[in-house]
Amino acid sequence: MTAAPGHPARTVLACGEVRTCLLPSHQALDTRAAAQLLRLRADEPVRVSERPSMYARSPEILTGVDCRLPASNGSKVRGVGTVAARAALTEGRVLQATAYFSLPATGPDVRRPWGQYLVRPGLVEPFGKLPQHATAEGVLRGARRGELDLGMIAEGLLAGLRRHALLDRRVPFKSSPTRLRWIARRESDGERASLVNFTVAEGGLRTMEIRLPEHIPAASAAGICEDLALHDWLLTTVQHMLDNSRLGTTDGPSVVDTLHPVVVHLLHLWMPRAHVDPALGHLWDVLEEKPGFSRQWENLSRRIRDRLALQAVATPHQALSDVR
């Protein structure tokens, strides 16, 4: 049985992809510039928060879709509706774009007028019965040709923002973007949200699966995934910079030059759950236990600060030796 036009359909699956990268600007943006960058729509404001960290989120924009849904078993189920997309900027430095949608268990056998899809933003209806397991696996695997591609929608939004006139396209250090694909399977409201799986693959790809009670909106699921993607990007970027610095094998100004951007631009950004729906904040507990995100971050931060402190102590002695 399908929902009547104009009424919300009961969804069984939510899917999304988050792209995270360094903002191409030599200087971090302040709140005013961040709001200007993320003003994707004239009829809705950018949400800006300065506590506990500076965070700006754009209003959502919709992309109409009419194509096959991703499916791991090769089934060709057509989906029609809208994909919601939004962007976020953390401390004026890290830029993210997210595309996501929800799916009901069944949809109509005929295509509705576009107006009926637009009144249910972020909902994509299948033609007939949804192959839930195959669709979830297909989203995590990545879209094939002709299938709904969330990554392409998120990347398109990200690319447009990176070309904004506000940005000088001069980065303070080199980094690589990351991609997080996620699915959320709906559970009854008596259940608690839970993290089922988080994986790290090659090429900056991560995947995540959660179970989500019916009353928690898909936008909140997107929020916890954005938060995880942000902190995973921070860990990955700082680890790479630390590896490239050859810490412990070289001395002198080169080490300071390599690690200085980490201290100036990144170390203060670590703040899990700061902008997450409280109903989902506990999902971080799993990641703190294993693999221990914050423990990894604290270890990296300590190594960097200790190395810079040793270099600061060694520099005056080296200068005195040069004089002698």
- Per-residue pLDDT of 197-252, as tens digits, reads 999 998 999 999 999 999 999 999 999 999 999 999 999 999 988 887 765 555 55
pLDDT at position 163:
96
Confidence of residue 6 (pLDDT cuts 50, 70, 90): very low
Nearest to 192 by CA among 171, 210, 173, 165: 210
pLDDT bucket at 319, cuts 50 / 70 / 90:
very low
User: How does pLDDT run across 264-298, given as a tens digit for each residue?
Assistant: 899 999 999 999 999 999 999 999 998 899 999 99
**DSSP label at 129?**
B
DSSP 8-state secondary structure symbol assigned to residue 267: G
- If DSSP codes are grouped into helix, strand and coil, which group holds residue 191? coil
Is a pLDDT exceeding 60 seen at residue 323?
no
Q: pTM to 2 decimals?
A: 0.91
- How would residue 324 be classed by pLDDT, with cut points 50, 70 and 90? very low
Residue 13 token pair: 């699956």
- Is residue 262 within 8 Å of residue 172, measured between CB atoms? no
Distance CA 66, CA 78 (A): 7
Percent of the chain with pLDDT over 90: 77
Over 50: is that where the pLDDT of 255 sits? Answer: yes
Q: Average pLDDT in the 126-152 region?
A: 96
Judged against a pLDDT cut of 90, whether residue 317 lies above it is answered with no
Q: Number of C-alpha atoms within 13 angstroms, CB side, residue 26?
A: 2
What pLDDT digit, counting tens, does each position of 169-196 carry? 999 999 999 999 999 999 988 889 999 9
Closest by Cα among 5, 17, 8 to 177: 17
Exposed/middle/buried for 7, CB within 10 Å: 0-12, 13-18, 19+? Answer: exposed
Q: Is the alpha carbon torsion for 281, 286, 292, 293 positive or negative?
A: negative
In the structure, what pLDDT confidence band is assigned to residue 103 with cuts at 50, 70 and 90? Answer: very high
